[in-house]
């Protein structure tokens, strides 16, 4: 049996302690699969004294996590601290610079600095892996890096944020409004005290940018992700969608356009009942990859949580122990291409558009005239009665397929209209 793989863990939150628990619980099977033991040698966290329910006494306590990168008894540093910059990034650079493996669950850091870190890893021939950064316990980074490697992918999309999916599917189940379900999600531990990154779609955008780089062989371009969250989605939108045969899900979509440009977006979408993503409820994640030979592949599972995330962290460690870590983005980082951001205006599709309007004559005439003038063809239109919150009325429509810039133009024509009580909400209809 080969020498053990010796790891240091920075960060002992739920995931860090989950990794320690997993390594202990499955010690024997891990050793058989990895061909060698995986041993924690050093740990670090902000508070040493805190009771975490795991025995830390066998491990060296490191007061300054940056010191981990310099330890000669450490092969791999596992970073579970979080934050796109700051100490996590400093540690990543130091570990890779020292030729150590680096494993992280930090999607924000990989989305922002993944290219730099992959370059450092390549220079130092050091493994760099982040399965846990995307979709929790689902082996989708590996799925795209290796499983679909024979394919030119056309589209990668999915439900990448468990908090949003929990809120939306609970709104659907209960008829409750967004604010109430957010509070419920916080109470049940499915949403953080500051949920901004989740509900505004930023977390999903981090993951999407990482998956797009792997799947399309292009450099990560997080800045190019167009991002909208779910805060504007109302109980009434969900009811309208249901009546039309759809559920509402926050979907990240990356597509390689015909012109070689890469369109990356995170938006609430209408998903047809029969689509596999419609059946994804609660804090579950699901990723679809469409390959030119494989066809549509779906990877689904727990999107977060200490145990699933620990499963992904340790899968990376097993790959490293086996000497099978490979290029973090499937192709060597210096061979990743650069794709210009796609033009969403050129996207052809159908949209759901919801207006909140004053309840007075002429409103529908103004809206439909703007649609006509911008060349938007309306497939169906529902005007429901007065809303409970006063004089506003909801008008929802679904457009025929057409280029998105027409919808944008129509909304521009309506901008500032005294008839609109709120900003319209546009949700694309996911194509089958």
Instruction: Please state, in angstroms and rounded to a whole number, the distance separating the CA atoms of residues 109 and 118.
Output: 12
Q: What is the 3-state secondary structure (H, E, C) of 287-307?
A: EEEEECCCEEEEEEEECCCHH
Q: Are 255 and 342 in contact (CB under 8 A)?
A: yes
Q: SS3 for 325?
A: coil
Q: What minimum distance in Å lies between the beta carbon of 259 and a copy of itself?
A: 18
Encoded tokens for 139? 């082996």
- Return residues touching a copy of itself (CB under 8 A): 18, 22, 25-26, 29-30, 32-35, 137-139, 142-143, 146-152, 217, 274, 276, 279, 286, 291-302, 305, 307-308, 310-315, 317-319, 322, 324, 326, 330-332, 335
Picking from 270, 238, 241, 265, the residue whose alpha carbon sits closest to that of residue 254 is 265
Instruction: Please state, in angstroms and rounded to a whole number, the distance separating the CA atoms of residues 398 and 380.
Output: 5
Instruction: Please state, in angstroms and rounded to a whole number, the distance separating the CA atoms of residues 282 and 168.
Output: 8
Query: 184 or 331, CB closer to a copy of itself?
Result: 331
* Angle made by CA atoms 95, 98, 103, in degrees to the nearest 5: 30
Q: What minimum distance in Å lies between the beta carbon of 128 and a copy of itself?
A: 15
Answer yes or no: 207 catalytic. Answer: yes
Query: 330 or 394, CB closer to a copy of itself?
Result: 330
Q: Are 24 and 314 in contact (CB under 8 A)?
A: no
CB burial of 294-305 (b: ≥16 within 10 Å; e: otherwise) equals eeebebbbbbbb
Q: What minimum distance in Å lies between the beta carbon of 145 and a copy of itself?
A: 9
Query: 195 or 308, CB closer to a copy of itself?
Result: 308
Q: What is the dihedral of CA 147, 151, 154, 155, to 10 degrees?
A: 0
Q: Are 328 and 129 in contact (CB under 8 A)?
A: yes
Q: What minimum distance in Å lies between the beta carbon of 325 and a copy of itself?
A: 9
Count other C-beta atoms under 10 Å from residue 200's C-beta.
Answer: 18
Q: What minimum distance in Å lies between the beta carbon of 19 and a copy of itself?
A: 9
Query: 34 or 396, CB closer to a copy of itself?
Result: 34
Instruction: Please state, in angstroms and rounded to a whole number, the distance separating the CA atoms of residues 329 and 321.
Output: 19
Residues whose CB is less than 8 angstroms from the CB of residue 361 and which lie 6 or more positions away in sequence, other chains included: none
Encoded tokens for 325? 């870590």
Query: 142 or 219, CB closer to a copy of itself?
Result: 142
Query: 69 or 280, CB closer to a copy of itself?
Result: 280
Query: 298 or 381, CB closer to a copy of itself?
Result: 298
Q: What minimum distance in Å lies between the beta carbon of 409 and a copy of itself?
A: 37
Picking from 338, 277, 300, 288, the residue whose alpha carbon sits closest to that of residue 154 is 288
Query: 123 or 150, CB closer to a copy of itself?
Result: 150
Lookup result for tokens 């990376």: 316
Encoded tokens for 316? 């990376």
List the catalytic residue out of 107, 142, 207, 431.
207
Burial class (CB in 10 A: 0-12, 13-18, 19+), 35: middle
Encoded tokens for 244? 């039309």
Q: What minimum distance in Å lies between the beta carbon of 127 and a copy of itself?
A: 12
DSSP string, 192-206: -SS-HHHHTTHHHHH
Q: What minimum distance in Å lies between the beta carbon of 133 and a copy of itself?
A: 15
Catalytic residue ranges: 207
């Amino acid at each position: 049996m080969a020498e053990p793989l010796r790891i240091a863990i920075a960060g002992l939150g739920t995931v860090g302690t989950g990794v320690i628990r997993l390594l202990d619980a499955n010690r024997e099977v891990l050793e058989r699969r990895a061909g060698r033991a995986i041993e924690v040698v050093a740990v670090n966290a902000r508070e040493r004294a805190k009771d975490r329910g795991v025995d830390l006494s066998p491990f060296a306590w490191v007061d300054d996590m940056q010191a981990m990168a310099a330890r000669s008894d450490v092969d791999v540093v596992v970073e579970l601290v979080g934050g796109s910059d700051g100490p996590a990034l400093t540690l990543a650079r130091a570990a890779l610079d020292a030729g150590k493996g680096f494993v992280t669950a930090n999607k924000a850091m990989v989305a922002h600095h993944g290219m730099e870190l992959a370059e450092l890893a390549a220079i130092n021939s050091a493994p760099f892996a982040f399965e846990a950064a995307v979709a929790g316990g689902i082996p989708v980074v590996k799925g795209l890096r290796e499983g679909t490697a024979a394919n030119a992918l056309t589209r990668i999309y999915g439900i990448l944020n468990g908090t949003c999916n929990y809120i939306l599917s609970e709104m659907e189940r209960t008829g409750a409004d967004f604010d109430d379900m957010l509070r419920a999600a916080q109470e049940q531990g499915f949403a953080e005290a500051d949920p901004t990154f989740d509900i505004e779609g930023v977390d999903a955008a981090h993951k999407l940018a990482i998956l797009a780089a792997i799947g399309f062989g292009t450099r990560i371009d997080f800045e190019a992700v167009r991002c909208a969250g779910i805060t504007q989605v109302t109980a009434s939108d969900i009811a309208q969608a249901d009546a039309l045969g759809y559920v509402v899900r926050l979907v990240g979509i990356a597509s390689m356009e015909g012109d070689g440009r890469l369109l990356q977006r995170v938006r609430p979408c209408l998903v047809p009942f029969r689509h596999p993503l419609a059946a994804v409820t609660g804090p579950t994640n699901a990723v679809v990859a469409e390959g030119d030979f494989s066809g549509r592949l779906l990877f689904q599972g727990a999107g977060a949580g200490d145990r699933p995330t620990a499963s992904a962290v340790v899968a990376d460690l097993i790959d490293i122990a086996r000497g099978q870590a490979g290029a973090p983005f499937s192709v060597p980082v210096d061979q990743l291409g650069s794709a210009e951001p796609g033009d969403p205006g050129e996207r052809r599709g159908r949209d759901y558009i919801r207006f909140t309007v004053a309840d007075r004559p002429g409103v529908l005439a103004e809206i439909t005239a703007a649609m006509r003038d911008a060349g938007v063809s309306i497939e169906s239109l529902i005007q429901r009665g007065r809303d409970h919150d006063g004089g506003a009325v909801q008008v929802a429509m679904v457009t025929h397929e057409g280029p998105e810039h027409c919808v944008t133009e129509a909304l521009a024509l309506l901008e500032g209209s005294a008839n609109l009580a709120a900003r319209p909400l546009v949700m694309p209809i996911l194509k089958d």
